[in-house]
Amino acid sequence: MARKISYRQAINEALVQEMERDENVIVLGEDNAGGEGAPGERDAWGGVLGVTKGLYERFPGRVLDTPISESAFVGAAIGAATAGKRPVVELMFIDFMGVCFDQIYNQAAKFRYMFGGNAITPVVIRTMYGAGLRAAAQHSQALYSVFTHIPGLKVVLPATPYDAKGLLIQAIRDNDPVIFCEHKALYDTVGDVPVESYAIPFGEASIVRSGGDVSIVALGRMVAVASEAATELAGAGVDAEVIDLRTTSPMDTDTVLESVEKTGRLVVVDEAPPRCNIATDVAALVASQGFEHLQAPVQMVTAPHTPVPFSAALEDLYIPDPSRVVAAVKLAMEKGS
């Protein structure tokens, strides 16, 4: 049975259901309950944006607040994962990867391969990314492509409440380290989510809208932007297919290539800056493996090559919006036709 809940609630529900199912699942991070050592309310925050609220009371001893010591507690989660726990550790903002990156990319990402397949590291690093909350240059970045670059890490970007729940459950059950990227502007979005537990396999893109004229590949918050553009394009007689990658590592290359084979045109929408991002990666994939199907150059809609600006007037220009996607699709439709 499905009912409408928010992206935030969907993540919380996935944690609850997995913690009930498997006592090895533990949750840790800065203020994940809140109020440790303080005289007032315990579980005061449930994480900085309330995503883990209520877990502390429900699972005594399994929800840990931490000092502000990301290298120490992300590293500890990774260490606990090698000892049979299934930690879900919160890196509050993806921008903070810099203060703990060694533990992620030189340690967690390497163990399985480097130790000849003799180790698993079933840790989930939940982290908040993306622009739109006027959170400025050090709290707004879309850094998932950095993690996607690292062999050994799986990278997940749910775009809907449904996917947030199913992908997080899969992430917790997965035996590899997973970077679970939650867009901070999506937490209050609402959608149909089944009550029961379910897992969405990694590496399976979702065709959000079928169409025959152009393939729009998007991820994370950009899926809704692409869908809105597709609706507008439909009114202009352009039948766009919208693909949500869901996971960038592993990436569902087949679905992308099959779509481009059908439509002959590709637009990729990525909230990250334009160099070495997921848009360039998808463009390279299609250029190398689906070139014969392309009837026009690939169009990429990305953020500019700048840090994320603070002022609302600038940030609104920074984030790709439906009008830019529409313009890119029209360009793709004009060329080669």
Partner 1 sequence: MSDTLEHRSAEPAELSADQLLDAYRRMRTIRAFEDRVHEEFATGDIPGFVHLYAGEEASAVGICMHLDDGDTIASTHRGHGHCIAKGVDPKPMMAEIFGRRTGTCHGKGGSMHIADLSKGMLGANGIVGAGAPLACGRALAAKLAGNGEVCVVFFGDGASNQGTTLEALNLASVWQLPVIFVAENNGYAETTASSWSVAADNIADRADGFGMPGVIVDGFDFFAVWEVAREAVTRARRGDGPTLMEVKLTRYYGHFEGDQQTYRGDEVERARRDFDCLKWFRTRVTTNGMLDAAALDTIDAEAAALIDDAVAEARSAPLPGREDLETDVYATY
Q: Least distance in Å: CB of 3 to partner 1?
A: 29
Closest CA to 282 of 319, 238, 252: 252
Q: Least distance in Å: CB of 230 to partner 1?
A: 26
Q: Are 148 and 248 in contact (CB under 8 A)?
A: yes
The site map against partner 1 for 245-284 (x = CB under 8 A) is -----------------------------xx---------
For 63, 170, 235, 331, the CA distances from 334, given in Å and listed in that order, are: 55, 41, 17, 5
| Catalytic residue check, 139 | yes
The amino acid sitting at 223 is V
Q: Note whether 204 binds partner 1 by CB under 8 A.
A: no
Q: Are 17 and 198 in contact (CB under 8 A)?
A: no
The site map against partner 1 for 50-89 (x = CB under 8 A) is ---------------xxxxxxxx-----------------
Task: Tell which positions 220-239 bind partner 1, by CB under 8 A.
Answer: none
Q: How does strand 154-156 pair with strand 247-249?
A: antiparallel
Q: Least distance in Å: CB of 300 to partner 1?
A: 10
Task: Tell which positions 114-173 bind partner 1, by CB under 8 A.
Answer: 133-139
Please count the CA atoms within 13 angstroms of the CA of 201 that sit on its side-chain side: 5
Q: Are 188 and 31 in contact (CB under 8 A)?
A: no
Q: Note whether 213 binds partner 1 by CB under 8 A.
A: no
Helix (H, G, I), strand (E, B) or coil at 202: coil
Q: Note whether 37 binds partner 1 by CB under 8 A.
A: yes
CB count, 10 Å around CB of 143?
Answer: 20
Q: Residues in the site for partner 1, rule: CB under 8 A? A: 30-31, 34-42, 44-45, 48, 65-72, 95-96, 98-99, 133-139, 274-275, 304-307, 309-314, 317-318
> Active-site residues: which are they?
139
